[in-house]
Chains A and B, each alone.
Chain A
Amino acid sequence: MTVAAGIGYALLALGPSLSLFTAVISHKPFLILTLLSSTLAWLMTLIALSAVWRAFLPFKTAAWWPYALLILTSVAFQEALRLFLWRLYKRMEEILDAFADRVSKPRLFITDKMQIALAGGMGHGVAHAIFFCISLLTPAFGPATYYVEKCSQIPFFLVSAIIALAFATIHTFSMVIAFNGYSEGKRVDQYFAPVVHLAAGMLTLMNLASGGCMIGIPLLYGITILTLAHCGKMVWTTLTQNRSRVGNVLY
């Protein structure tokens, strides 16, 4: 596709992440570092997964279950990494709190912790978007574009960008939900991220059928909106609880 179209697709997939970055993350250097390390970690995971699965691809059969297996293993591996990142984050929180005590500054507020989780999630979203969408765009510059017969209404790259946007949003905010769930011990929040990730992944299998993307992508966005709403509600309740807690202490 042309350079203008390519930039358009890239902005479609990564535009909201860029705005979020400029508004929230770029002001705090620590969040930028968190974003960079998170992107690196998730990119390593994706590379490792693709290295393992490379041996079996492309699949010889036209059945859908090998793809389901692929998605299942990938999601499982990534969710394991999310747990590992939570452990790392706990340790870092202790270090940061000790550091804050040493320089007699206040310890991390709850909003700070949520911002760190947001930066980590955005790293995941950006890694996914770049790995699955941008990597397709960059070798494809030229005068023509490409359509897939199973989803022939819009160009292939546009479909990729739309799906990447949905996944980036899901990943960004489910990290906030997951970290909050781990820290407060709420089961619903803890299981929310893996379940939603798996559901979204399996939904994309619908694109294998002819015309399937017409149903699959709106459903995917339904899941995205669900993630956003749940995250918003969770943050709201946490903050109001916190404020009332602080209020009780003061008064």
Chain B
Amino acid sequence: MEENPRPRTILETCGEEIIRIVTPVSICMLSVVILVSILNGGSSSSGDLPISSMATIAYTENSSDSIWDKLKGALLNSLVFVAVVTAVTFLLVLLFYLGCTKFLKYYMGFSAFLVLGFMGGEISLLLIQSFSFPVDCITFAIVLFNFTVVGVLAVFMSKMALFVTQAYLVVIGVLVAYWFTLLPEWTTWVLLVAMALYDLAAVLLPGGPLRLLVELAMSREEDIPALVYEARPVINDSGPSGGAVQRRVWREGRGRPVMNENEGLSSNTRTVLASGENERDYVNAEEGRVNELAVPLIQHVNIRMNSTEDNVPSEDLVLEGIGLGSSGAIKLGLGDFIFYSVLVGRAAMYDYMTVYACYLAIIAGLGITLMLLAFYRKALPALPVSILLEQYSEDHLFTEASSDHK
């Protein structure tokens, strides 16, 4: 009996969008864990690296301080940091309102240049030192310069292959996340919790800066300037009934029906670093240059329009009627990449089992958030669920000190 070629079942396509986000997040986390293991292998978790940043401006942690002092200092640091982030986000909203999008766009390109060039260069130097890799200055400079320029073009210009853009966004995420793992221990943890809370507030409260930003962008049907990772859209082959499967995620400025998918993508990638002038304040004490630490964090803060806004029904009809065929691809802010990776990178300084448990908890949180996204169809904060799950799993792992054999 001859069997017909089996029709494709839903098992083959269900969950594809989630996997397309989970994969780059996993790659980013894995890279940060590897970097942390290679570069921080010797020192213990309570590294007293004298890194001066916006996040340590209020209090520099000393391993000899008491717990209460550390907690107070960490809280102070986080407060300062969240305050700065809020201020800069409001500044961004103001600039966006005044229509200075071009300025923001150029600024994003400049920031990407700084991150890839300086941070990437510094980490490459550390790696070269650690492996005693023989390379001379001129080759290194040329290679680094080329790498940086291509990165800026990929993030800044629109016509680059999507894979290259995605790869560079992941690289930027890895670099910034690694930099963050150098912060003192208590500050990192309290900062993560503070940012999660800020996230919730900024997106869901009516006066929150992110919500304002999203509404502004929607009312003007413009792109929000930001560094956002966009997954390749899923093309449905289910024909006219595709509407049921499509998840309208973020309808970026596709007001005009004639915009084809290419243009849609280009308007996505024309994203601007929403950092504002924050970086200038943040100076690295040793090298006296500007650092972008705060920047991508602000990113994630901006991009919780990770999902759709409240859909305007008429827009929906227009787009469905055209049958563009592609569901709006899911976009995840780069700040989310960075925070998840910082979490996992910090865990890597203690023990790999913690890394494993944290990774699973974060992916579960991300999956739940994405499903809530499909359910509520609103801009959602991506951090809280993951952080909750992760804290729970870490607590349990820390209580059992050694693994016992059955």
Residues of A within 8 A of B (CB): 27-33, 36-37, 39-40, 43-44, 47-48, 50-51, 53-54, 57-58, 67, 70-71, 74, 96, 99-100, 102-109, 112, 115-116, 130-132, 134-136, 138-139, 201, 204, 243, 247, 250
Q: Are the CB atoms of A47 and B397 closer together than 8 Å?
A: yes
User: Given contacts A51-B400, A109-B6, is CB(A103)–CB(B238) below 8 Å?
Assistant: yes
Q: How large is the interface on B (under 10, 10 to 19, 20 to 34, 35 or more residues)?
A: 35 or more
Contacts of A104 in B (CB 8 A): 238, 241
Q: Are the CB atoms of B393 and A47 closer together than 8 Å?
A: yes
Contacts of B393 in A (CB 8 A): 44, 47
Would you call B15 an interface residue if the criterion is a C-beta within 8 Å of the partner chain's C-beta atoms?
yes
User: Given contacts A36-B363, A37-B364, is CB(A53)–CB(B404) below 8 Å?
Assistant: yes
State the CA gap A48–B228 with chains docked (Å): 38
From 376 to 406 in chain B, residues with beta carbon under 8 angstroms from any chain A beta carbon are 393, 396-397, 399-401, 403-406
State the CA gap A56–B22 with chains docked (Å): 39
Q: Are the CB atoms of B6 and A139 closer together than 8 Å?
A: no
13 intermolecular pairs with C-beta atoms under 8 Å apart: A28-B12, A33-B18, A51-B396, A57-B404, A100-B9, A103-B241, A105-B10, A108-B10, A132-B403, A132-B406, A138-B351, A201-B406, A204-B406
Residues of B within 8 A of A (CB): 1, 6-16, 18-19, 22, 238, 241, 244-245, 351-353, 356-357, 360-361, 363-364, 367, 393, 396-397, 399-401, 403-406
Q: Are the CB atoms of B406 and A43 closer together than 8 Å?
A: no
Contacts of B361 in A (CB 8 A): 40
Number of A-B contacts (CB under 8 A): 116
Q: Are the CB atoms of A105 and B8 closer together than 8 Å?
A: yes
Q: Are the CB atoms of A33 and B6 closer together than 8 Å?
A: no
Q: Which of B15, B19, B245, B399 contacts A103 (CB 8 A)?
A: B245
Q: Are the CB atoms of B353 and A135 closer together than 8 Å?
A: yes
User: Given contacts A102-B244, A138-B351, is CB(A43)–CB(B357) below 8 Å?
Assistant: yes
Contacts of B356 in A (CB 8 A): 43, 130, 134
Q: Are the CB atoms of B244 and A29 closer together than 8 Å?
A: no
Q: Are the CB atoms of B353 and A138 closer together than 8 Å?
A: yes
State the CA gap A43–B389 with chains docked (Å): 13
Q: Which of A31, A54, A138 contacts B11 (CB 8 A)?
A: A31
Q: Are the CB atoms of B406 and A71 closer together than 8 Å?
A: yes
Contacts of A108 in B (CB 8 A): 9-11
State the CA gap A69–B352 with chains docked (Å): 29
Contacts of A99 in B (CB 8 A): 10, 14
CB distance from B39 to the nearest CB of A (A): 16
State the CA gap A28–B397 with chains docked (Å): 32
* A201, closest chain B residue (CB): B406
Q: Are the CB atoms of B357 and A28 closer together than 8 Å?
A: no
Q: Are the CB atoms of B352 and A103 closer together than 8 Å?
A: no
CB distance from B16 to the nearest CB of A (A): 4
